Amino acid sequence: MKSICRHKAYKVELKPTSKQIQTIKQTMGVCRYVYNFFIGTNRNNYRNGSRGYMSGYDFSKWLNNDYREANPDKLWIWEVSSKAVKKAIMNADTAYRNYLKGKSGFPNFKRRNGRPVSMYLPRNNPGDLQVERHRVKIPTLGWVRIKEYGYVPCQAKAVSVTITKRAGRYFASFLFEVSTVNHASITQTEGIGIDLGIKSFAVISDARTYPNINKTTRTRKLIRRLKREQRKFSRKIRKLKQRKEETASKKCKRSNLNKQRHKVQRAYMRLTNKRHDYIKKTVHEIVSTRPEYIVIEDLNVSGMMKNRHLSRAIAESEFHYLRTLLERKCREFGIELRIVDRFYVSSKTCSRCGHIKKDLCLNDRVYECTECGLVIDRDYNAALNLKHCKKYRTAG
């Protein structure tokens, strides 16, 4: 076994003080303003034809020199961390460049009540980022208590930290330089194939089956709770619009509306955390068997989402999140991840004789071969075909 050095991220929840919360909100507000300012400036330059595209570096120089001297009332931009502001500018630059290259649509402006902008803080000096069992030292914030004791490695070298806000809670994502064990030399078993679906979340070629968590009683309760909170939120928005029309005033109390918005966000977060936790445990159990290789199908999720009858179930399954985790774990444990083409007929092919049953429908959950008489579960048959497929490409 050989030890290798690589970067690894740890995400923990913080317990900041009121003063630290004020600093975080102020920094995120400035980052949001600068992000929107960059996009708006480039959009206006394009419409007016006055000058070409202003890159993130040029915008940062212009903001710190020309704009600062011409607008003394905007000095509050430089009262927060300059590294966080620079990162927000570069994020906006990346989003705008992707739009110019045709990779994505026009970048959206960050809303005040929408998803907050993250707060990025790198390590400039050796003592800037320090980690202890129950607290962490963050630049511009000082020592901040954390809720999970002993999760973040204290001996590792921290490179940077990114603070995010979600449903009224604050999280810190630390990037560490850690030494891990290269598992490539560990004795491995034969390969496995994984068939993903809606009825069963994952069916493995070694006869293991992972059910769909969205069909469990607990998850359905969380979904119903989310719907109730969303209906309450919609009613409050409707009432707020009515009051504005009756009073002909734009200023109305929004305290109850903001409280209900936080309830909707908390319901979303709880449901998402439950699904992600199940996917992480599933991937860990699959990789812990140390297979020689893992074969999955390159699913066309965007095309599958066009089916209005199955789009919601496909979105809730989060196949892309599973594939991302699987690629990361296979890279960590030295396992080859094979990707089979999406047009490979894994479900319609007999795993025993290779006969293709063209009239197989989606409602047929049992595969019955007309040539060799094989009767087998549809998903298990697809997993066996994926395992023995010879046409594939290696991920990464």
pLDDT digits 0-9 by tens, 172-204:
998 888 776 555 545 567 889 999 988 899 999
pLDDT band at 358 (very low <50, low <70, confident <90, very high): confident
Copy the structure tokens of residue 244: 């504005």
**pLDDT above 90 (res 127):** no
Answer yes or no: is pLDDT of 76 > 70.
yes
Q: Tell me the CB-side half-sphere exposure of residue 74, using CA atoms within 13 A.
A: 14
Q: What number is the average pLDDT over the span 347-370? A: 85
SS3 119: strand
Rounded CA gap, 40 and 261, in Å? Answer: 27
Cα three-residue angle 140-142-148, rounded to 5 degrees? 120
Task: Identify the CA nearest to 5 among candidates 128, 120, 176.
Answer: 176
Enter the DSSP assignment of 78: G
Report pTM.
0.83
pLDDT at 116 over 80: no
Pick from 62, 323, 63, 11: which is nearest to 170 by CA?
11
DSSP 129-192: SEE-SSEEEETTTEEEEESSTT-S-SSSEEEEEEEEEETTEEEEEEEEEEEEEEGGGS--B--E
Residue 156 tokens, joined = 């590792």
pLDDT tens across 235-255, in order? 998 888 888 887 766 666 777
Token digits of residue 56: 């993130």
Quick one: pLDDT at residue 187? 53
The tens digit of pLDDT for each residue in 254-279 reads 778 888 989 999 999 999 999 999 99
SS3 category, 242: helix
pLDDT at 57: 93
Average pLDDT on 294-302 reads 89
| Spatial contact of 349 and 356, defined as CB atoms under 8 Å apart | yes
